[in-house]
Structure 1
């Protein structure tokens, strides 16, 4: 965080110091009870309803508490604490965020999408950090409550910021855009997820669309030209620049000659009349799509494509993202337990279609959560995907995933189909199926420690 004088914060928020000194400097800002208070010289936003642990705050002192609590509740506090009383905590919170973000005239890239947002974000960060000071969100820790600490990570040395948007409910992306004020926004793809928080697919598309209105005036929007649901976005009011990526003829960043290579994908990038050979680590055409989105953003930031493409070669895909590992009895395990939704299942199956030829393919699928009242529908659709493929064994784990097995069986799948209520029931019953010809794909919900441990047990 860029240090700020307490007296300047008091002037900004038009508050009243009711106890403590204003002659010191704040070096961190959090919302009390939402973020961990680990640093000294911190600013804490405290609501009327918060129960305050004064001793804990005192141990981290000095601290500045901004609150709209009445004077009677905040008097006689430890000497290390300065209390700044404001009329409205909510208004003060947003005023402070707007002020702080306004201190930095830097590009801010934010990314959303059903799949690929963490990978695309990490690709951009990897390419840029060779020469730029980059502030970025961590892994896929993208919940709205993390946005304030990520913003506070920007300081005088930051040259560019790259964040991903978490979407659990309608309004989440709007909230984060108000904090980040992105200059470049990316939507990787729009599939099916979080329908419980958005009502239905239409609501989910509208929630993703929030990034369109959140980009700063004159900013850039980067969209997937191949994605069906992306075409449903309402873009009439967007006055900035729009860049499309994909394999479609309408894409300004277009990939063709896509081939599976050793450890990743080879393709030709076409931009204007120029052609560039590209290698991106990680398997699948969806990985090509992620690379296109990242390269479009990098190019928009002014980095020559030749340099960006060269740096992309050394990108290392995240663990548990279609991660290929040697398994027991000489088998090959594809660990894709990072997340689970219909879009990512289809992408994983497409990879298996290519790399599983002449292999004994075993597919292990767990429950897909957060589909609301559409749970049965989308699990059944995955069952239909399975039925069309040459799969040796299908294993489902969980009550919801059972619908996948039932639908695959109903549609005449030739796979050996096995249904388990939970991962512990499986045990070592699969070991005898695994050999040098076995290619095993395992996908489960991100929150399932059991599925992660199960995948690890299958590895050599």
Structure 2
């Protein structure tokens, strides 16, 4: 955080100092409920219902407590703690965020989408970080409660920031945009997920669309020209620049002649009426889509496209993102246990279509969570997708995933189908299926420790 004098914060918030020193600077801002993680020179927003531990706060002093409590027992306040009283804590909170964010005239990119958020964010960070000081959210830790700490991570040395949006319920992205105030917003794609918090697909699309209204005036919106649900977004109220990426001929940044290369995808990049040979590590056309979104963003920030392409070649994929390893009995294991939703399952199946030719293809699928009342519908759709493919063995793990197996059977799948209620039921019952001709894809939710550990056990 850029250090801010206590008196300057008082003026911005219109607050009143009722106790403690003012001749120091704040170097972090947090919610009081996270005070266990506080450090010295912290500002703490405390709600009226918070029982304040003045001793713990003072030990990490100097500290600034901002409160709208009408009465404070000043005898409990210790010397290292400054207390500022405001009329409304909510108004003070947003005034502070607005003030702090406006200290920095830098590009801020935020990303949402059903799949590819973390990969796209990390590609952007990787391409920029060769020459710029870049601040970014960590891994896929994108919950709204992390937004304030991430904003506070921007300081005078930061030249660009890249964050991804978490979506559990409608309103989450709007809230995060109010904090980040992005200059560039990206929607990688819109599939199906979090229907328990958004009621249905229409509600989910609407929740993703919150990023459109959250981009700063004059900013840029980057959209997937190939994605059908993205075409349902209402864009009439957006006053900034719109950039489309994809394979569609009308896309502003386009990929053609996409082929599987060594460890990744080769493609021709079309931008500004010019063509470039490009490569992105990681298999699948969805990986090319992620790369296009990232290239579109850095291009908007003025990065030379040839340099960006050269940096993209050196990007390192995240663990458990279609990660290839040698496995049991000489098999090849594809670990894709990072996330699990219908869109990512379809993308993984397309990779199997290309790489599984002539192989003994084994598909291991776990439950897909957060589909609300549509659980059975989408698990069954996956079962139908599996039935159309040349899958030697289909293994489902979990009560929800059982619907995949049942539907594959109904659709006449030729696969050897095995159903397990949990990972614990498997033991070594499947070991005989694996040999040096086996290509094994395992896909399950990141919340399932059992699936993650099972994937590890399959690797050599």
Of 439-448 and 31-40, more deviation after overlay is shown by 31-40
Q: Number of residue pairs matched?
A: 460
SS in structure 1 opposite 2:52? Answer: coil
Distance 1:457 1:354 in 2: 25
- Contact 1:19–1:75 (CA<8 Å) still a contact in 2? no
Instruction: Quote the RMSD (CA, aligned, Å).
Output: 0.9
1:409 CA drift (Å): 0.6
- Contact 1:110–1:164 (CA<8 Å) still a contact in 2? yes
- Contact 2:280–2:288 (CA<8 Å) still a contact in 1? yes
CA separation of 1:73 and 1:375: change in aligned 2, threshold 3 A: farther
Equivalence for 1:155: 155
- Contact 2:54–2:76 (CA<8 Å) still a contact in 1? no
Distance 2:72 2:223 in 1: 53
SS in structure 2 opposite 1:115? Answer: coil
Distance 2:326 2:252 in 1: 39
**Cα displacement string for residues 222-276 of structure 1 (whole angstroms, at most 9, x for unaligned residues):** 0000000000000001111111000001101110000000100000001132000
SS in structure 1 opposite 2:234? Answer: coil
SS in structure 1 opposite 2:76? Answer: coil
Equivalence for 1:125: 125
- Contact 2:30–2:38 (CA<8 Å) still a contact in 1? no
**Cα displacement string for residues 373-399 of structure 1 (whole angstroms, at most 9, x for unaligned residues):** 000000000000010011011111111
Distance 2:180 2:400 in 1: 37
Equivalence for 1:211: 211
- Contact 1:34–1:145 (CA<8 Å) still a contact in 2? no
Distance 1:96 1:415 in 2: 59
Normalised TM-score (structure 2): 0.99
Does residue 45 (structure 1) correspond to residue 53 (structure 2)? The answer is: no
Distance 1:166 1:368 in 2: 17
Equivalence for 1:313: 313
Normalised TM-score (structure 1): 0.99
Of 63-72 and 122-131, more deviation after overlay is shown by 63-72
Equivalence for 1:201: 201
CA separation of 1:340 and 1:287: change in aligned 2, threshold 3 A: same
Distance 1:337 1:172 in 2: 25
1:416 CA drift (Å): 0.8
Equivalence for 1:227: 227
Equivalence for 2:399: 399
- Contact 1:279–1:312 (CA<8 Å) still a contact in 2? yes
SS in structure 2 opposite 1:33? Answer: helix
- Contact 2:187–2:222 (CA<8 Å) still a contact in 1? yes
**Cα displacement string for residues 180-222 of structure 1 (whole angstroms, at most 9, x for unaligned residues):** 0000000000000000101100000000000010001111000
Q: Which runs of 5+ in 1 are unaligned?
A: none
CA separation of 1:74 and 1:204: change in aligned 2, threshold 3 A: farther
Distance 2:203 2:137 in 1: 26
**Cα displacement string for residues 269-296 of structure 1 (whole angstroms, at most 9, x for unaligned residues):** 0113200000000000000000000001
Distance 2:255 2:354 in 1: 18
Distance 1:225 1:294 in 2: 14
Distance 2:35 2:257 in 1: 47
Equivalence for 1:459: 459
SS in structure 2 opposite 1:8? Answer: helix
Equivalence for 2:254: 254
Which ranges of 4 or more aligned residues in structure 1 deviate by more than 3 Å?
Answer: 72-75
Does residue 335 (structure 1) correspond to residue 335 (structure 2)? The answer is: yes
